[in-house]
Structure 1
Amino acid sequence: MSRTITYRAAKEVAVAVEAHFAGLVAAAQERGEQYLAPAPSKKVVEAIIDTAFWASLRREEGNSPKISLALLPPDHTANPMLFERRLPLASRVLTKLAPGVERPGVHLGVWYEGDYIYVWGTTHEIQSLGFVLDVSEPGLLVVKHRRKDGFGKFANVAVLIGDQVKIVDEHGASLPDCPDLLTSLLGFTTPSALNKSVNVLVQLATSMRAHKHGGTLLVVPTGSTAWRQSIIHPMQYEVSPAYTGLANLMRKETADRSQSPWQGAFRHEIETMAGLTAVDGATVISDQHELLAFGAKIGRPEGSALVEQIVVTEPVVGNQAQIVHPSQSGGTRHLSAAQFVHDQRDALALVASQDGRFTVFSWSPCEGMVHAHRIDTLLL
């Protein structure tokens, strides 16, 4: 593409993005899958990211653009809205269009002929493994792809924050103590991950982060009461009997989950449960998604040692594990969540900060300490 790329990070990330999507599509073709999105070339990736970055810094009527760009030709999607005349891929064009296409699920369709890259309209449908670029806020871009089942959060490939580039480490899910939540978020390449049904914790984490109040979600084994030893009593908002709205939905046959009524009910239950995490204290659910309590105060059981150190990792290329005092991972929520998992080692704690940081705490038997997985890069 004969255009000048002035955003340096676009050049830095384009090679890795090209290789990532080429590998995804090749692996899917080997499995005999059809109706796959075309893999993007390095030059197209550079041009889209460069244009979107400069558009993100512009303002239309005082507002910064929040848009999603999907790379695919218009005849590869169902019921697209087509412009009579193609629009050039330019920052001024994206900024002007942004107010009309900022709703969730609406993507500006981008394609090319020769050296000409253009915006052809909008779409709600994207083929499996399709390249998507989200403009979340000024200077913040996220490269994603659509999951094979087409439902739930897109899988992140890379995050660009100004001149900083974070490439998601696909092999991070192979860590011996990696929780299922992280495995699902990182599950790009394996058939089992791509075909896996919706992961409830992924959706809850995304919704918790979105409400921007901060919050803690504790996931405890079904039928266990040991977790109650780490909660201060009485609990103001204990739920009895356990609320099973989300659990009942997840017991439905997998085939039902592709239907609109199920998906609508699922989103409602997710938003409701994630909303409870905004109440001061922790929300407690079972690993079968039953709501047990919210607004619960975490306390240290009598005779339990204070958690003194944790290992912190982030699933991005080049990240090195660090052993730190739990207070260095965040504020009071993080410290109490680390203590909870230290005492309840078969539990999981998800912590959202008001500033957008998100951490999953799990017990690592190999390291003999609490493992804090920073996953905000995956939830953008």
Structure 2
Amino acid sequence: MESQIQQTLPQPTYKAAISASAGIEAHFEHQQQQAQQRGEENLAPKPDKQVISSIIDTAFWASLRKEEGRSPKISLAFLPPEGTTQPLIFEYPLALTADILTKLAPAVERPGIHLGVWQHENELYIWGTTQIIPGFCFVLEVVEPGLLVVKHRRVDGFGKYVNVAVLKGDEVKIVDEDSINMPDCPGMLNSLLGFTNTFTHNNAVNLHVQLAVSMRAHGHGGTLLIVPSDHEGWRKSIIHPMSYPVSPAFNTLSVLMEQKVNAKDLAAWQEKLNDEIELIGGLTAVDGATIINDKHELLAFGAKISRSPGHETVRQIMVTEPIINTPAVIIPPSSDGGTRHFSAAQFVYDQHDAFALVASQDGRFTIFSWSPCDQIVLAHRVDTLLI
């Protein structure tokens, strides 16, 4: 009966919704199977490709409309009202249409508020709003006109949602889960792909992901260098005197990350952490690189990177993107971006135990790390995972 109902859903007119739906369905199926094998409970219902394509289609056409001169920003979550806690339930369900989404958008555009979508007989409907959703819940976010992101919440509830696919006009990018198997995959990429089981509130990788989100959000572009704390060899790759060194090292982030936080104090702790992340993220907007160590201590900002004495100029980098059908390519670093990208590649080429996060003004985001396996600088383009 269920398959007959789903077959009667309206056929999408947005072609990308159809082409992306099977891959997205497979992602949720795989993730939930893995979660069940780990014994995780309270998982969200899995959407099938007909439901997925229908929700994407409606949201896409809504994104191209305007209400009082403003483009809608909406987050849709596929689950029934009983699948969440403390939902706001409309007395009468509303049809899932572009017109209704456009009219509701001003009320739900703030982060963390989702319109709940479910199905009855041959139609999808909006039942209300919620701020609490279960693990692996299908979420579709309308970011801007023509730009949609499919994502899901982590089971543990901490950190950024995991992106599954990005649709921009006719372009579809589906995240490649097999990227986790690539040699020398850095922990931050592992986490962004959603495979880090220890993504706890005070996990270092979690912190780096949040710093990346903050850097990308300010829109100025910037570089964050993360260096080892057990030696200062990295200073050979920095021009001295530095413009804005910090002495003593600013350790507020470090202190917060070392705290043992109980459930009662978690919200207050998270608010303090977010404030400090925004502070460090804001410093990356200053021309030059911001430098922190692996203990999360701020050492400098506005620093200029230089080739270390006795080292060669980096000539090649391996560029990867965790998107299906996007193979790694080896290119000159000058082909990857401007001065900011080249200097970050040079820094990692000289300092193998450091890595660099680089945000471009256009939203592109790259993680630079050294590959012991391939003896080359890896440039992981992860902006698709950060939207």
Fold conserved (TM > 0.5)? yes
Per-residue deviation at 1:85? Answer: 1.4
Indicate the residue corresponding to 1:370 in structure 2: 377
Indicate the residue corresponding to 1:275 in structure 2: 282
TM-score where L is the length of structure 1? 0.96
Alignment of 1:172-183 (within 5 A): 172-183=179-190
Indicate the residue corresponding to 1:233 in structure 2: 240
Which of the residues 249, 263, 266 maps onto 2:273?
266
| Paired amino acid for 1:72 | L
In the alignment, does 2:62 pair up with 1:55? Answer: yes
Give deviations 1:167-187, integer Å, cap 9, x for gaps.
Answer: 111121222211111111113
Alpha-carbon distance in structure 2 between the residues aligned to 1:217 and 1:154: 22
Per-residue deviation at 1:23? Answer: 2.0
| Paired amino acid for 1:42 | K
In the alignment, does 2:192 pair up with 1:185? Answer: yes
Conservation of the 8 A alpha-carbon contact between 1:149 and 1:195: no
In the alignment, does 2:93 pair up with 1:83? Answer: no
Alpha-carbon distance in structure 2 between the residues aligned to 1:55 and 1:7: 12
* DSSP-derived class of the 1:178 partner: coil
Alpha-carbon distance in structure 2 between the residues aligned to 1:253 and 1:377: 33
Alpha-carbon distance in structure 1 between the residues aligned to 2:23 and 2:201: 24
Alignment of 1:204-353 (within 5 A): 204-253=211-260, 255=262, 259-353=266-360
Indicate the residue corresponding to 2:37 in structure 1: 30
Per-residue deviation at 1:127? Answer: 0.5
Alignment of 1:106-125 (within 5 A): 106-125=113-132
Per-residue deviation at 1:20? Answer: 1.5
Alpha-carbon distance in structure 1 between the residues aligned to 2:200 and 2:269: 20
Conservation of the 8 A alpha-carbon contact between 2:63 and 2:144: yes
Indicate the residue corresponding to 2:147 in structure 1: 140
In the alignment, does 2:48 pair up with 1:41? Answer: yes
* DSSP-derived class of the 2:211 partner: helix
Alpha-carbon distance in structure 2 between the residues aligned to 1:244 and 1:293: 12
- Which deviates the most, 92-101 or 20-29? 20-29
Give deviations 1:245-275, integer Å, cap 9, x for gaps.
Answer: 1111111236459721111111111111111
Conservation of the 8 A alpha-carbon contact between 2:225 and 2:357: yes
Give deviations 1:230-257, integer Å, cap 9, x for gaps.
Answer: 1111112111111111111111236459
Conservation of the 8 A alpha-carbon contact between 2:227 and 2:292: yes
Indicate the residue corresponding to 2:79 in structure 1: 72
Per-residue deviation at 1:209? Answer: 0.5
Indicate the residue corresponding to 2:104 in structure 1: 97
* DSSP-derived class of the 2:366 partner: strand
Per-residue deviation at 1:226? Answer: 0.6
Per-residue deviation at 1:300? Answer: 1.5
| Paired amino acid for 1:311 | M
Conservation of the 8 A alpha-carbon contact between 1:143 and 1:159: yes
Alpha-carbon distance in structure 1 between the residues aligned to 2:275 and 2:201: 23
Conservation of the 8 A alpha-carbon contact between 2:159 and 2:199: no
Which of the residues 170, 173, 177 maps onto 1:170?
177
| Paired amino acid for 2:340 | R
Alpha-carbon distance in structure 2 between the residues aligned to 1:91 and 1:43: 17
Alignment of 1:9-24 (within 5 A): 9-24=16-31
Per-residue deviation at 1:30? Answer: 2.7
In the alignment, does 2:138 pair up with 1:127? Answer: no
Which of the residues 153, 164, 168 maps onto 1:161?
168
Alignment of 1:188-203 (within 5 A): 188=195, 191=197, 197=203, 199-203=206-210
Give deviations 1:334-366, integer Å, cap 9, x for gaps.
Answer: 011011111111100000000000000011122
Alpha-carbon distance in structure 2 between the residues aligned to 1:174 and 1:287: 24
Alpha-carbon distance in structure 2 between the residues aligned to 1:333 and 1:266: 27
Identity %: 60
Alpha-carbon distance in structure 2 between the residues aligned to 1:277 and 1:194: 25
Conservation of the 8 A alpha-carbon contact between 2:75 and 2:139: yes
RMSD: 1.7
Superposition misfits of 4+ residues, deviation over 3 angstroms: 190-198, 254-258
Conservation of the 8 A alpha-carbon contact between 2:200 and 2:206: no
Conservation of the 8 A alpha-carbon contact between 1:148 and 1:195: no
Conservation of the 8 A alpha-carbon contact between 2:226 and 2:355: yes
Conservation of the 8 A alpha-carbon contact between 1:148 and 1:194: no
With over 3 angstroms needed to count, the CA separation of the structure-2 counterparts of 1:196 and 1:280, relative to structure 1, is closer
Conservation of the 8 A alpha-carbon contact between 1:308 and 1:325: yes
